[in-house]
Structure 1
Amino acid sequence: MNDAAGLDDDNSLGRRMREFRKSRGWSLRSVADRAGLSIGLISLIERGRSSPSIRSLRLLAGALEVPMEWFFQDRWASTKTTHSQVLRSGQRRSLRLAGQGISIQIASPPKTEKLQMFVVELEPGGGSGGEMDQHQGEEAGLVMSGEIEFWLGHDHLLLSEGDSFQFSARTPHRYHNPGVVPARVLWVITPPFYSYLLGKKDRQRESRRKAGA
């Protein structure tokens, strides 16, 4: 995808966020306070001037009281689903964070209960963002092409095509593509994290973690 298309993705995400926030009558400050992020960062995201990291997107979802999959482009509504347990490749909901160099496609059918699959594509240098993240659940995956660099707690790992991983998502983690070609990863999260609505207790946990950092 070219840079212009990536800019359109960031603008679209920011515009939807701004319209949704205003429809609820929430100020930038109130959303910033709930998310534990700066007003300046949220303003930049809403204006399409900055791409949120995966962690920031998760915190924004909690502040806006929506699941993370709300940010994804919806292809289900325009494509007839032939089976509730099958998702065709053209039906995947997608999200591209151009500034982070990462694209995510939800590969699980809509009625997901126990786990959720994704196809994650990382441009050279692209990744989850500079901050370590942690949340409930467990993550696993298979590197289908390219390579990814992982930080898991105190461990620093390099994975190449054919390598797989699995870890508790409560372990602080981040990742990026250190190579010169795109990386493609089949990713699995349980419980279905992107369908999960971040609640008050989760936001309080994030606030305590930030205060103790």
Structure 2
Amino acid sequence: MDIGKKIRALRLGNNLTQEELANRVELTKGYISQLENNLTSPSIQTLFAILEVLGTPVHEFFGKVEEDFEPVHTKEDFYEKENEELSHTISWIVPNALKYEMEPIMIEIKPGGQSEIDDPHPGEEFGYVLEGQIVLVLNKTRYVVKKGETFYYLANKEHYLINLGSQNAKVLWISTPPMF
């Protein structure tokens, strides 16, 4: 783990200069510079004080290793599942999205098909119709959403999508927290 790099990233994320961070922790600017360049290591007490000023819990600092985070995903990374009964295909377009705040999927619905019916749950959902048009059903109320249009709702009502058109519909659908 590159402690210096993580401290620098947190400092910059808080819009602090090295001098401002040093003053808040009662250290010198030179010491902060040495820490960030891995020329010295902080004591546990100093590290805890720095993390407190930067608003980062210790467990979070040593938790997920950001170097493992991959921000770009290709079609080869997607997981696809076809539902022949409901005439749709879902592509999970971000691997391991369940561990994040949002879960984006791509759903392609054939004419006459529909998504699964989702029961009410906590969270919010957003969609962008890329092709065709769909009918968004929220608690039995229907909304037509055409290509280039979006939808957004609280997921506290039964909800699903239907394709009543004559061509395939393709929707980028994002749920927070992950639910798909």
Q: TM-score range by the shorter chain?
A: 0.5 to 0.7
Verify: 1:148 aligned to 2:134, yes or no.
yes
1:185-204 superposed matches below 5 A: 185-194=171-180
Q: How far apart are the structure 2 equivalents of 1:192 and 1:173? A: 15
RMSD between superposed Cα atoms in Å:
1.9
TM-score normalized by structure 1? 0.49
> Unaligned regions of 5+ residues in structure 2, if any?
1-67
TM-score by length of 2: 0.57
Deviations 1:107-128 (A, max 9, x none): 1233541101111000001102
User: How do 1:163-202 residues align onto structure 2 when only pairs under 5 Å count?
Assistant: 163-194=149-180
Higher helix proportion, which one? Answer: 1
Alignment pair present for 1:109 and 2:95? yes
Deviations 1:79-133 (A, max 9, x none): xxx962221112101111011001100112335411011110000011025x563
Q: CA separation in 2, counterparts of 1:132 and 1:95?
A: 17
| Corresponding residue SS for 1:143 | strand
1:155 maps to a residue whose letter is T
The total of aligned residue pairs comes to 112
How far, CA to CA, are the matches of 2:119 and 2:88 in structure 1?
16
The Cα offsets for residues 51-102 of structure 1, whole Å up to 9 and x where unpaired, read as xxxxxxxxxxxxxxxxxxxxxxxxxxxxxxx962221112101111011001
Contact 1:84 1:109 (C-alpha < 8 Å) held by counterparts: no
**Structure 1 unaligned regions, length at least 5:** 1-81, 195-213
Q: Which structure carries more strand by proportion?
A: 2
Partners of 2:178 and 2:108 in 1: CA distance: 19
Q: Could you tell me how far apart the structure 2 residues matched to 1:109 and 1:125 are?
A: 29
* Identity within the alignment, %: 28
Which residue of 79, 95, 100 corresponds with 1:93? 79
> Letter of the aligned partner of 1:120 in structure 2?
I
Larger Rg: 2
CA contact (8 A) 2:77 2:94 kept: no
